[in-house]
Amino acid sequence: MKTQSSQQSADKASKQEANKRETSERKENHRVEISAEQAAEAEIEVYLRQHQAKDMLRFLTCGSVDDGKSTLIGRLLYDSQAIFEDQLAAITRQPKRYIKQQVKQQADEANQAALSATQAVTQTATIDLASLVDGLQSEQAQGITIDVAYRYFTTDKRKFIIADCPGHEEYTRNMVTGASHCDAAIVIIDARKGIQTQTRRHSYLCDLLGIKQLIVAVNKMDLIDYDKTQYDKICEDYQLAARAFRFESIVFIPVSALLGDNVVAPTCHMPWYGGLPLLATLESIPLAKQSTKAPLRFPVQWVSRPHADFRGYAGTVASGRVGVGDVVQNVTSGQQAHIASIVTYAGEQPYAYQGDAITLTLSNELDVTRGDMLVHADDIGADDIDTNDKVGISNQFIVDLVWLAKQSIRLGQWYWLKIGSKLVTAKITELQTEVDVNQQQVKPFAAQATSTLNRIFTAKIALVESIGVDAYDTIPATGSAILIDRQTHATVAAVMVREVLATDEAELNATDSFEQALAELITRYYPHWDEKAIAQFKSALAQWDCRL
């Protein structure tokens, strides 16, 4: 009996010891897991802080059809290792349309040696790089870019947002959309074809929209055997064409997007080129510095009233700096007040700068609503914008107008003008000149029966109320607007303010009772009508000589 009892005690002690060891091991493993999680979280925090400190460059690619814009972006993303594995697998399975076209062209135009070289390209280039940005089925079917495609990637030095813009003239409005928020542009030229009509058009639009930094990428150098003479000729031709533009910097780079020459890494095929490859050039482009001495522009986006004891004005600082205690004025009403506090997601701050999303509280309540603009009290001008600090206040402007709609311009028709968060009724009263982009000439406007789609005009616009604006070249955020059709709500034009005219009292509070009645009728009885149906109805009314 003693022996059996002793054995049971020993077994029990052994089990307890084993349980203690198992518990200790579990605790140790748990501590290791926690340490691993903490280490991973710490690495993520370090990574995020590193990227948060980087500046960001927004740039677009543009040029003529089939110059290789999408392929160049695909190569840039691929060689900089900015493609996810599933994206890479998807484009690897797709047909290699671009490579097949090159093989066929070499077979028709070159000798057997050139054909063999192209076949070698086909064996090594096993992915369709253009498919990374040409995501629409119609784009892949036609081998062209239709809509603007945005891609994001980062390097050790900088973050980037790319806008891949279409090359066809009929998609000029898409290109304008993509270029409107960019800091730099890459104009791509096919080394075989040289400067094309769309090359000039896109360069003019980049200049019109205020882009100052330009890179000219002469693509498909492999198809001209990396000929320096032909490359130099293209550079000379473009420099001659660019004399009329206001670019601060133009950099020329010979590249082969298909093979990767001079895209991310330097190439041995062009020893005569001593400049930086494309990615290094993008990393070295200087960004426009935000000046704290620039005039304050604060468009109000929303009046914040979370409770009865708080009234704030939310928005993003479009220009300049604002601080607690500054005297600001509502451009619309002329009322003034001091800044009581500046509220941000991180709490109250003494100052806010251009690009900051903030909520301002004032020392006394003003009549401020969405669409109003707050400026420093000494920044109020008259009916002009002769000085950079003064905001122009008027209801008439001279503007550059890029027409984006299929229906033609009708003088005197009422639209909505949206500038920032401000929405006001406006009409085009005069088309003064038209820009011949292809010839880079300005000529008097002549009324024609042809469509005004994608055409560029200097026009005069009148509003039913006075608003505060700046010249687009001075402060783009408060000098740019869009025109909206009041029935279809479609954007019909991009607007850039060039000059503020004297206020026209006759236009103030003007109304078009017929069009207002028409809008009410459509909204009430035909709410199911789409943009096309409304446009057809308005066209029929115009043929009946109605006031439209």
Which residues, 6+ apart, have CB-to-CB distance to 17 below 8 Å? none
Residue 87 host element (H or E): helix 85-93
CA 91 – CA 350 distance, rounded (Å): 50
Task: Calculate the CA dihedral of residues 318, 320, 325, 331 and round it to 10 degrees.
Answer: -50
Q: Residues, the chain, total? A: 548
Cβ count within 10 A of residue 123: 8
**Residue indicated by tokens 């949206």:** 418
Tell me if 428 sits within 8 A of 413, measured CB to CB. Answer: yes
SS3 assignment, position 318: coil
When mean pLDDT is compared over 13-17, 335-339, 486-490, the highest value belongs to 335-339
Average pLDDT over residues 191-196: 92
Domain spanning 297-376, CATH class: mainly beta
Q: Is the pLDDT of residue 322 over 90?
A: yes
Across the chain, which distance is largest between two alpha carbons, in Å? 121
Q: What is the pLDDT of residues 199-250, one digit of tens each?
A: 888 898 899 888 999 999 999 999 999 999 999 999 999 999 898 898 999 9
Tell me if 403 sits within 8 A of 376, measured CB to CB. Answer: no
pLDDT of residue 154: 87
Tokens representing 254? 């010979």
Tell me if 252 sits within 8 A of 263, measured CB to CB. Answer: no
Q: pLDDT band for position 375 (50/70/90)?
A: very high
Residues paired with residue 467 on neighbouring β-strands, in sequence order: 394
pLDDT of residue 43: 72
Instruction: Give the right CATH number for 392-503 from 2.40.30.10, 3.30.420.60, 2.40.160.20, 2.70.70.10.
Output: 2.40.30.10
Q: Which residue type is seen at 117?
A: A
Query: What percent of the chain shows pLDDT beyond 70?
Result: 74
Burial class (CB within 10 angstroms; exposed 0-12, middle 13-18, buried 19+) of 409: buried
Backbone conformation region of residue 325, classed left if phi is above 0, alpha if psi is from -120 to 50, else beta: left
> What's the distance, CA 122 to chain centroid?
34
Q: What is the pLDDT of residues 129-169, one digit of tens each?
A: 666 665 444 444 444 444 677 888 888 888 998 888 776 66
E-strand ranges in 319-419 read 321-323, 327-330, 336-344, 347-348, 351-353, 357-362, 373-376, 392-403, 414-419
Instruction: Check residue 261 and report its DSSP letter.
Output: B
Q: pLDDT band for position 306 (50/70/90)?
A: confident
Does pTM top 0.95 for this prediction?
Answer: no
Q: What is the pLDDT of residues 44-80, one digit of tens each?
A: 776 666 666 688 899 988 888 788 888 888 888 888 8
Higher-pLDDT residue of 308 and 446 is 308
Instruction: Give the right CATH number for 57-108+126-284 from 1.10.260.40, 3.40.50.300, 3.40.630.10, 3.30.1300.10.
Output: 3.40.50.300
